[in-house]
Amino acid sequence: MAGGLGVVGRDPSDDEIVLGVLDAVEQDPALTQRSIARELGIALGLANAYLRRCVHKGYIKVGQVPRRRYAYYLTPQGFAEKSRLTASYLSHSFSFFRRAREQFAVIFAAAAADQQTRVLLLGAGDLADIARLVVPEHGVEIVGVCPEVADEAELTTALSSFGRVDAVIVTALERSQEIFDIARAVLPSGRVYAPDLLRLRVPKADPDQE
């Protein structure tokens, strides 16, 4: 579900709305202002105002599609802002710990089912700590944490330093999309995992990451 911030029923914060707009645009470039308003549970005028604001700030670009409709696309600056806001939102979300536990349980179960028993975490911090709490329940071993991944070469070196690594899990809150993309460039898609709460883009043709 695009957006997915759970803002209906209370007044969303400024950052929540911006994140919701960016997330909705990324999921469906052909969406309408009305669908954004409905998704985020805000007034149509407010959705329009925030969409225009994101365009003005350079987060979103507008293109025309047939039937005199518009399509909205995230710019590189928009992707960077979405990543920053996601990290900020998650770190202050009361449901962050519960959601992370549930999603890591699913990831570890899937890894174990594929005989991927030695996993490397990409990114230090709260997510990595939660992963460590969950992993003993699933017969999977965390072989280590790679706190920084700058590029494919650095990840390749890190993988070799930990011996056999069956899969990696993105646990970085900052630069998570970039790190995820680097990992997918180095490893087969079925060996790269990330919790859904990071809101990462995954090619639709890839059946291994949901």
pLDDT in tens, 10-41: 455 788 888 888 888 888 887 888 888 888 88
Tell me the mean pLDDT in the region 109-131.
Answer: 94
All structural domains of the chain, each given as residue ranges with its CATH number in brackets, are 14-91 (1.10.10.10), 96-198 (3.40.50.2300)
Tell me the mean pLDDT in the region 100-123.
Answer: 95
DSSP tag of 163:
S
Q: Using one digit for the tens of pLDDT, what is the confidence trace for 47-76?
A: 889 998 999 999 999 886 666 667 888 899
Q: Using one digit for the tens of pLDDT, what is the confidence trace for 169-195?
A: 999 988 899 999 999 999 998 999 999
Instruction: Output the pTM of the full model.
Output: 0.62
CA distance 15 to 85: 7
Greatest alpha-carbon span in the chain: 56
Number of H helices, E strands in the chain: 8, 6
